[in-house]
Amino acid sequence: MLENNEKEVQEPITAENTVVKVATEKAVNEVETQVAKEAEKVDEKHEIPMLEYATMELDILVSELKKLLDTHQVQQLKSNIDAIKNAFNTKFNDLLTQKKEAFLAEGGNVIDFQFSSPIKAEYNKLVGEYKAKRDAHYAQLENQLKENLDKRNALIEELKTLIEKADAKTMYNDFQEIQKKWKTIGAVPKTKYNDTWKIYHHHVERFYDLLDLNKDFRELDFKHNLEEKLKLISHAETLNEVADVNVAFKDLQDLHRIWKEEIGPVGKEHREDIWGKFSEATKKIHDKRHQYFRELKSKYQEMIDAKLKVVAEINAFDTSKNESHNDWQKSIVELEKLRKKYFDIGKLPYNKSEAVWQEFKNATKKFNSSKNVFYKAEKNTQNDNLKSKIALIELAESIKDSDDWEEATNTMKRIQSDWKKIGHVPRKFSDDIWKRFKDACNFYFDRLHAQKNEQNKEQLALVTDKKAFIETIKISEDLSLEAIQENIVAWRALGALPRNARHLDEKFNKAIDAHLGKLNMSKSDIELMKFKNSIDMYLSQKDLKKLDNEQYFIRKKIDETVREMQQLENNLGFFSNAKSDNPLVLNVRKGIQEFKDQLAVWKSKLAYIKKLDY
């Protein structure tokens, strides 16, 4: 206000000034609007950690949803609940699609398809609980906001009446009482916040302009308010240096709220000036915040591009050569690395991430569809493998008590070999059938080993007895044929030697042969007796291979002897005119006779071995 006749010097109005003023007003209005929004939800300020819900399985999502409802106020949950709902619905829809495809692939009709899940039922119950709590809270909040608005409007009317009556004695005290009441009233609807405050503030300024009753007191009040608002301006100016623009913006909102709610008016001569300074500081922080979000938007685009690059890698992932469970397990590991790479890029705001997330889902769905086709076929194969393994188990269990050691052992070994050739079975049966199979095999082989241990003790005693028997034969005086035959019977009666001690049979045969050579028997009889003794030994040992080889050898010898004898008989034809006492003729005839004698022995041997039942 200028004194006397001095004119007020005003800043010239230009287009540039107008633009600046409009920009400043816009910045202030945005802050004021945000203050109004924050005022309405003042009781909702509480930060809950936002987890990576998109990576969680359905049961974990339900568990997290229940935990949120049990531990936090409902008005604090919206962001987390929305993220959980988005993740759950996406994963459940994928599961539903898989179940439907499997149902149709098995010949089902689409109209008959039904799928229920306990997890889905629990999820629906918890979401319903959340909605009921949320609706109840916001209904209560709406009523409270309306009541607060009514209270503030009533105070405004009370202030207007106070100004109109202008009772000098009581008006200032009444005004202070109105101010105290105003500050105790809670939030009002955000759409009414600014208008209500402007009306109230207008009448407060009216009151101070009329307060001439105590000019000194009024000036003191104005001075105090000016100092407080200058402090707010100074604080607002320092916020421009705060690195975190979001923190600065929240502090700025608090300064605007204090400016409007807690500090009264200043003198007319200062009102426009200090508001201009406060608005200018506000604009700087506002512009800095807008620049931050522009840069953040650019950064988001970089993240989107990086995520889409990973999606392209997943789309290009080749599973066409996967033919086994191991092949698919390797692919699953590689795909999981790509999934981790996608999530490690960082989180995007929901409105930025939805389209990229759909691309990512479609890419992984393509992989999962191929995997599911393989494992569906694998499941059928595994069920067939299960049937085959159960058949082997039943066979093993049926012979585990058998005393036919040779036959049962061979069968058990074949069963074990066949088991190894059969592929995987469904995981839920794997441990049980392996235990059954292992128990049956172990039961049998434990019995076999126990039997062999007992047998080994018996065989060790047998070897000792037979060694002593051989020594007895060696030191015996000349034995008669009957004694030799009795010793042969006694030797066999002792029992069959184990394979690693069968050389004792050869020693026994040599000892017997020594006694046979001392008997008054023809050479052919002795040879035939020795042969029978050897053959009987092979038979007692069940050495079929040696018996077959012996028969083959005898037949070969018979053929050779016949050929040699025929050759000599042909040679004899050359001496048809020779005298019967010719030495050459006599020598040929002698040779023919020797071959006949040998042939008779070979044929006797063949006849003996052929009559054996082996």
pLDDT in tens, 495-529: 777 777 878 888 888 888 788 778 777 777 777 77
**Percent of the chain, pLDDT > 70?**
88
Per residue in 50-80, pLDDT tens? 888 888 899 999 999 999 999 988 888 888 9
123 torsion bin: left (phi>0), alpha (psi -120 to 50), beta (else)? alpha
Tell me the residue type at 456.
N
Residue 134: partners with Cβ closer than 8 Å, 6 or more residues away: 74, 75, 77, 78
Question: What is the distance between the alpha carbons of residues 155 and 334, in angstroms, rounded to a whole number?
Answer: 68
Q: Which residue has the higher pLDDT, 312 or 14?
A: 312
The pLDDT of 596-600, averaged and rounded, is 86
pTM (global) more than 0.75: no
Question: Which pLDDT does position 579 carry in this prediction?
Answer: 66
Question: What is the distance between the alpha carbons of residues 400 and 445, in angstroms, rounded to a whole number?
Answer: 8
* pLDDT > 60? residue 42: no
Question: Which pLDDT does position 390 carry in this prediction?
Answer: 94
Backbone angles phi, psi at 562, to 5 degrees: -60, -45
Question: Which pLDDT does position 374 carry in this prediction?
Answer: 81
Contact 467, 507 (CB under 8 A): no
Contact 530, 516 (CB under 8 A): yes
Question: Which pLDDT does position 6 carry in this prediction?
Answer: 31
**Percent of the chain, pLDDT > 90?**
19
Question: Which pLDDT does position 39 carry in this prediction?
Answer: 63
The CA dihedral of 55, 57, 60, 66, to the nearest 10 degrees, is 90
587: confidence class by pLDDT, cuts 50, 70, 90: confident
Residue 39 to residues 33, 194, 254, 258, 397, Cα–Cα distance (Å): 10, 11, 10, 12, 78
Question: What is the distance between the alpha carbons of residues 485 and 493, in angstroms, rounded to a whole number?
Answer: 12
21: confidence class by pLDDT, cuts 50, 70, 90: low
Question: Which pLDDT does position 417 carry in this prediction?
Answer: 94
* Domain ranges, ordered by start, for the chain: 20-33+214-316, 43-186, 547-613
Question: What is the distance between the alpha carbons of residues 108 and 260, in angstroms, rounded to a whole number?
Answer: 69
Highest mean pLDDT: which of 112-126, 198-212, 501-515? 112-126
User: Lowest mean pLDDT: which of 120-129, 276-285, 345-354?
Assistant: 345-354
Tell me the residue type at 463.
V
Q: Which residue has the higher pLDDT, 18 or 123?
A: 123
Question: Which pLDDT does position 4 carry in this prediction?
Answer: 33
* pLDDT > 90? residue 394: yes
User: Lowest mean pLDDT: which of 17-31, 341-355, 465-479?
Assistant: 17-31
The pLDDT of 218-234, averaged and rounded, is 89
User: Lowest mean pLDDT: which of 159-163, 215-219, 301-305, 380-384?
Assistant: 215-219
The pLDDT of 283-301, averaged and rounded, is 84
Coil/strand/helix, residue 187: coil
Question: What is the distance between the alpha carbons of residues 190 and 45, in angstroms, rounded to a whole number?
Answer: 16
Closest CA to 187 of 196, 199, 175: 196
Question: Which pLDDT does position 264 carry in this prediction?
Answer: 83
Question: Which pLDDT does position 521 carry in this prediction?
Answer: 75
Question: What is the distance between the alpha carbons of residues 569 and 564, in angstroms, rounded to a whole number?
Answer: 9
- The alpha-helical segments, DSSP class H, found in 400-493 are 405-421, 427-475, 481-493
Question: Which pLDDT does position 154 carry in this prediction?
Answer: 92
Question: What is the distance between the alpha carbons of residues 516 and 528, in angstroms, rounded to a whole number?
Answer: 11
Question: Which pLDDT does position 217 carry in this prediction?
Answer: 67
Closest CA to 248 of 211, 277, 208, 291: 291
Q: Which residue has the higher pLDDT, 468 or 208?
A: 468
- CB-based burial label for 434 (10 Å; 0-12, 13-18, 19+): middle
Question: Which pLDDT does position 37 carry in this prediction?
Answer: 65
In terms of C-beta distances under 8 Å and separation of at least 24 residues, what long-range contacts does 77-81 make, across chains too? 77/48, 77/130, 77/134, 78/134, 79/48, 79/50, 80/48, 80/50, 80/51, 80/53, 81/127, 81/130
Give the position of tokens 């789309």: 315
* pLDDT > 90? residue 8: no
* pLDDT > 70? residue 45: no
Question: Which pLDDT does position 451 carry in this prediction?
Answer: 83
Question: Which pLDDT does position 2 carry in this prediction?
Answer: 29
Mean predicted lDDT score pLDDT of the chain: 82
Cβ neighbours around 159 below 10 Å, total? 22
Taking CA 588 as the corner, what is the angle to CA 582 and CA 591, rounded to the nearest 5 degrees? 140
Please, what's the b/e burial string for 594-607 (b: 16 or more CB within 10 A of its CB; e: otherwise)?
ebeebbebbebbbe
Question: Which pLDDT does position 513 carry in this prediction?
Answer: 79
* pLDDT > 50? residue 3: no
Contact 580, 535 (CB under 8 A): no
Q: DSSP letter string over 413-429?
A: HHHHHHHHHS----HHH
The pLDDT of 119-146, averaged and rounded, is 90
Question: Which pLDDT does position 518 carry in this prediction?
Answer: 81
Question: What is the distance between the alpha carbons of residues 87 and 85, in angstroms, rounded to a whole number?
Answer: 6
> H or E segment at 518?
none
Highest mean pLDDT: which of 294-298, 351-355, 566-570? 566-570
Cβ neighbours around 483 below 10 Å, total? 14
12: confidence class by pLDDT, cuts 50, 70, 90: very low
The pLDDT of 164-170, averaged and rounded, is 76
Question: Which pLDDT does position 205 carry in this prediction?
Answer: 82
Please, what's the b/e burial string for 281-311 (b: 16 or more CB within 10 A of its CB; e: otherwise)?
bbbbbbeebeeeeeeeeeebeebbebbbebb
Question: Which pLDDT does position 408 carry in this prediction?
Answer: 92
Closest CA to 312 of 360, 346, 357, 367: 360
Tell me the residue type at 141.
L
Backbone angles phi, psi at 55, to 5 degrees: -95, -5
- Half-sphere exposure of residue 28: CA atoms within 13 angstroms, side-chain side: 18
The pLDDT of 177-203, averaged and rounded, is 86
Question: What is the distance between the alpha carbons of residues 27 and 279, in angstroms, rounded to a whole number?
Answer: 8
* pLDDT > 80? residue 415: yes
